Amino acid sequence: MLFYDIKLSKKYEFLGELTNNLIYIDENSKIPLMGVDFIGLIDRGTNVIELKPLTLCNLKCKYCFVKAGDYHTNFIVDYKYLIKKVKSLVNIKSHHDIEIHIAPYGEILLYSDLYKLINELWKVKGIKTVSMQTNGLMLNSKNIQMLNSNNLTRINISLNTLNEDLANYLCACSNYDLSKLLNNIETLLNTNINVLLAPVWFPGENDLDIEEIIQYVLNLRNEGYSESKIQIGIQKYLVYKTGRKLKKIRPKSWDYFYKYLSKLEKKYNLKLKLGPNDFGIHKRNGLYSPDLKKNDLIELQIVSQGRWNWECIGKISKNLGIKVLLKRPLTFSEDLIGKIFKAKVIKANYKDNILTASYPLQ
């Protein structure tokens, strides 16, 4: 495992304290890039491969389901290591109509090798689309030009409101520059990059704001931008035990959410219920995890600490890792690195090959 070194730190020195405890993952680190939710590759058995190159974030949004921006330890994955694993997975999926979606548990514009990553992805036979998601606050004319020069296909931007005060509240910041973001969206629209605005609906909090964003998209289309050039994909507010939660906001059921979208579709004559077909997503061969189920015992080796003091990364095989949650009061220490022991599987999701175990057994 390679910890943050002096040479690498020059790329990220502007982040200050965020880099105090950071782990750099490359092929020599022996940390697998499959199986763990917050780093590497996620394969959901479709033609889309999801990449998570880092965990650093410039925000601590009140609704973030993974608590990005607060991690005890952060990770950066070497782009060459990612490319090697992408090639292996594309071989399994076959070399046609592949989308790479760059979607970290953090902010991708903090990744200094982003343009190298995108450029190398296009060299992989069969990749048709390279997309990424961002909160958009770090966009500027320079990085937009670089993204366009490296042929980014689509950028998904988390824009929950056109009210700057509400944006500051939701993102737990005091300097959400909405006018700058809107200007940068306009700049993006005049490149070859397609834009998808992806607001989260917080029932009772930003109902009118969602409609304002819909109208904003319709106005842009009336100005001549096509449906593929500017899209909107409204997201359902989800709550997880380990994530942040907005006070007094209760998530609605999926049925209620889709009824809400149907109502807005009729009001604005605009398709809002987007699904896999709208993005050309279809089933494809994937890298399937071992035959594991909840409560199984599995032998693993600890290869790294995790984002939190009670979290580690275990290795099941050369290519497959597993997140290991340490039962309190046990916390991570360097003595655990290299240890081989049995842990209990508490999550084995074959849909996305994400695995989680707990230790000790008792």
CA angle centred on 185, ends 197 and 126, rounded to 5°: 65
Assess whether 208 and 314 both reside in one domain.
Answer: no
Assess whether 88 and 114 both reside in one domain.
Answer: yes
Assess whether 23 and 59 both reside in one domain.
Answer: yes
In a domain, 162, yes or no: yes
pLDDT in tens, 90-132: 999 999 999 999 999 999 999 999 999 999 999 999 999 999 9
Tokens of residue 218, six digits: 């319709």
CA distance 199 to 158: 6
**Contacts for 184 with CB less than 8 Å, ≥ 6 apart:** 136, 139, 140, 141, 144
| Domain interval for residue 78 | 2-279
For residue 2, is pLDDT > 50?
no
Check if the beta carbon of residue 297 is closer than 8 Å to that of residue 343.
yes
Q: Is 14 helix (H, G, I), strand (E, B) or coil?
A: helix
Picking from 130-139, 299-308, 347-356, which range would have the lowest pLDDT averaged per residue? Answer: 347-356
Boundary of a domain, candidates 219, 252, 279: 279
What CATH number does residue 355 fall under?
2.40.50.140
How is the beta sheet containing 127-134 ordered, strand by strand? 40-43, 48-52, 98-102, 127-134, 154-157, 194-197, 230-232
pLDDT class for 8, splitting at 50, 70, 90?
A: low
pLDDT of residue 148: 98
In a domain, 286, yes or no: no
Check if the beta carbon of residue 273 is closer than 8 Å to that of residue 258.
yes
Assess whether 24 and 145 both reside in one domain.
Answer: yes
pLDDT in tens, 154-213: 999 999 999 999 999 999 999 999 999 999 999 999 999 999 999 999 999 999 999 999
CA distance 204 to 212: 15
**Terminal CA-CA length for the chain:** 29
pLDDT of residue 274: 94
pTM comes to: 0.94
Number of domains making up the chain: 2
Output the CA–CA distances (angstroms, integers) from residue 348 to 37, 136, 223, 292, in the order listed.
Answer: 12, 33, 48, 6
